[in-house]
Amino acid sequence: MTLDKLQPGKKGYIVSVGGEGALRRRLLDLGLTPKTIVLVRKVAPLGDPIEIFLRGYELTLRREEAARIEVAEVH
């Protein structure tokens, strides 16, 4: 599944980061590397973007970007 499909409060680990160019590199630089555990914290009041928690900090990104990140849910 992709990160945007993960419900708030649910955890998953990153399988791969898709897309290309500067944005992809930024996501990798910020620590969204394979096997990293990510928690979906919440969704913004208007339904987009989403807030995630990884490596001890909070990051926000749009659903569109999250849809390029492949994750596997952790129960």
Which residues contact another protein (rule: CB under 8 A)? 16-17, 22-31, 33-34, 36, 41-49, 51, 55-62, 64-65
Structure tokens at 42: 């919440």
Instruction: State the nearest-atom distance from the C-beta of 68 to another protein, in Å.
Output: 10
Structure tokens at 6: 């993960």
Distance, CA of 32 to CA of 26 (rounded, Å): 9
Answer for the pair 66, 17: CB distance below 8 angstroms, yes or no.
Answer: no
Instruction: State the nearest-atom distance from the C-beta of 22 to another protein, in Å.
Output: 6
Instruction: State the nearest-atom distance from the C-beta of 16 to another protein, in Å.
Output: 8
